[in-house]
Structure 1
Amino acid sequence: MKKKIIRLMLITLGIILILVVGYRLYLEYQTDIQLFLNPRASKAELLAHIRSHGTFASILLIVLTAVMCAVPGIPTSVVGVIAGLSFGPLIGAIINILGNALGNITAIFLMHRLKFLDKKTETNHWVQAIRQMKHPKIGVMLGYMIPVIPSSMVNFAADAMKLPLQQIILSIVIGVIPSSVLYACGGEALFHGYNKTAVTLVASVTVLVGLVVFIYKDRKKKQGKQRQK
């Protein structure tokens, strides 16, 4: 019961932070939205204003991404695309990487300190898939790379395996790079056009599907060796 209350309090706090930071970000982009909705506004004026945002907007995007990443079940893709749209693929990707990395690190820290997840989480199929891999450290890294795997389950697996902090941080940073770059490139594509978007998405989805297949094959291989023993 205590764990459930702690989870509820943390999720509530996270949602409040998302609303506060999200509203401040809305104010930052209010003029952009008005230009977008105004049929008389020129495309050049809109694009110029979108790319005029500075450090404060980037900090808001990092904080919002981090909080959304730390709260289970809330996707960060829209914020990631906005980062790429506003700052281009390189800086946008850096913003996304920082936000996702900070969010996951914060979530693992809270899990480790407060122990608010139930033991039944250990039986989650994604947690088991990562922990039963021949190379669990690589499994953690791949878990962050695949959007369909809840980051909360990957965070739990990383904490449960008691990996060194340095390895956890490295796995998180490397793991969030593909999706962070993908969203930033998606934002850049929206800025310039849609020609390159299809190629990027198809290639990315292919890689992600390949990673999922790799996880399950690695898991089955390890289970097969254990049965032989």
Structure 2
Amino acid sequence: MSLSTKRRFFWMQEDRAAAAKHGGEINAWHTLSLPGVICGTCGETWANTGHEYPCVDLSQLPERKAFERPRPEPFPEFARLREQVRPLTPPHSELPPGTGFGPLVGRASGTFGPFAWVWGQKLLVRRDALTQLKTEGIRGLHACPTQLRFRQKDPPALLELQIPPHGRLHPDCIPSDEPSPCVTCGRWGLARPEVPILDAASLPTDMDLFKVGNFATMVVGTERFVEAVHRLGLDGIRFQELPARDGVAPPHGM
């Protein structure tokens, strides 16, 4: 039996009905990030979304202030700043322009269920729900403190999940006329395919939660993760099964 038929994967998105039921609101973002890039090769000025490392602390960097103001920089300056943070990040992190670091900072109010989303992109988990998932044996859960300011007393303990990018979209869902990534900055202007297909051979085997490596706004959970969430009765996530096919995808994107 092939790898793609043995394992099932699910695209995870915000369950807006559950969010409305709990009524919590969050307005927050990461205050430190790599700058965007101005590329002299492809002529694009751009920054990425979906790449965040909330557990990475940049406070001791001599040039910390260089990561405080979002802005584009010429590629050589961007690359210089990227090398400053690389030793602090997990091995093999790609760190495209716009990568965020450090805790989520901002305001929050109301009540929250086991999971909460920020702008439909960043996944937060209540501390008690995280403990339950770890007790169920869910692998690869790395949660980081947030710096959310609540107005009410006894605010919930919300943690941000640091979800690493792994794996690729399968070539079958990528248009054949799609330009290759820029050889200098790595920009790949792919729109999300209408029917995303995962490259089964590229997906991690030792974690139950990850982002798609070449489309990092997509959060993916394994069947083990989905079953644990349902078994524990944890709301806040809508699951859509993704097809996965054998075959190694080309190294598109950063």
User: Fold conserved (TM > 0.5)?
Assistant: no
Higher strand proportion: 2
Question: What is the TM-score of this pair, normalised by structure 1?
Answer: 0.30
Structure with greater helix percent: 1
**Using CA pairs below 8 Å that are at least 6 residues apart, which structure has the higher relative contact order?**
2
TM-score, reference length from structure 2: 0.28
Asked which structure has the greater CA Rg, the reply is 1
